[in-house]
Amino acid sequence: MSQIADNILSVKERIEKAALKAGRDPGEVKLVAVSKTVGVKEIKDAISAGVTILGESYIQEAKEKIEEIGHQVQWHMIGHLQTNKVKQAINLFDMIHSVDRIGLAEEIDKRTKQSGKRVSVLIQVNISQETTKSGIERDRAISLVSKVAKLTNIKVEGLMTMPPYFDDPEDARPYFKSLRELKGEIERERFGNISMKELSMGMSNDFEIAIEEGATIVRIGTAIFGERE
């Protein structure tokens, strides 16, 4: 078996274990293999080993790979998205994890209406308030969602976050818990037109903790493809 196939097997086992430990159905947790900086050959290895969703952070890089590999798999945009790249992003991706401002949501709404291609989106929340990270601040998130809920072409399906890196993943737990609680707060607002079914949280270093706190999508790069350059 290739190293990548071996890694995928091990990540899937760990996902299953973490879900069962939390009393959850492992089938509720989707694996996004994060392939930024990873070459087409390695990505094809991952697809052969059963990966069905790939995560990319940069439009141009993703475009080249998607042209070569195609839509036999789903492609998710997990990086910061500039408003002037929305048209391309809608054509390339099945889901955009990084909607963090109303202007971006409005542009997605407008381009969706024009193209008829409907991508799913997640609202990215900067739970840790680190200034270097993208994402709407936690206390402004409900207000943002209330505005996005008025747009009729955009399809909101949940929330995404990226906590700080900790050597001990247990330290990331409060951030995951906070995102899950925010999801509950938004659900109680009963905004029309949006769903809160997805929580995209957990990376190579901390995905088991994220699953224990309710993640439905984990975004894993290093544990599958090895360290990035």
Ligand X SMILES: *Cc1c(COP(=O)(O)O)cnc(C)c1O
| Residue 35 vs 151, nearer CB to ligand X | 35
* Overall size of the chain counted in residues: 229
Q: What is the nearest approach in angstroms of ligand X to the Cβ of residue 224?
A: 8
Q: What is the nearest approach in angstroms of ligand X to the Cβ of residue 142?
A: 22
Q: Are 82 and 98 in contact (CB under 8 A)?
A: no
The DSSP bridge partners found for residue 56 are: 77
Q: What is the nearest approach in angstroms of ligand X to the Cβ of residue 196?
A: 19
What tokens appear for 207 in the block? 């995905």
Q: What is the nearest approach in angstroms of ligand X to the Cβ of residue 189?
A: 26
The DSSP bridge partners found for residue 53 are: 74
Q: What is the nearest approach in angstroms of ligand X to the Cβ of residue 34?
A: 4
The residue number whose beta carbon is nearest to ligand X equals 221
Place of tokens 């809920």: 149
| Residue 79 vs 158, nearer CB to ligand X | 79
| Residue 25 vs 167, nearer CB to ligand X | 167
What tokens appear for 89 in the block? 């992003």
**Alpha carbon distance 57, 85 (integer Å):** 12
| Footprint of ligand X (CB under 6 A) | 34, 36, 57, 78-79, 162, 203-205, 219-223
Cα end-to-end distance, the chain, whole Å: 24
| Residue 25 vs 60, nearer CB to ligand X | 60
Helices and strands in the chain, H and E counts: 9, 9
| Phi, psi (degrees; rounded to nearest 5) at 221 | -110, -70
| Residue 74 vs 205, nearer CB to ligand X | 205
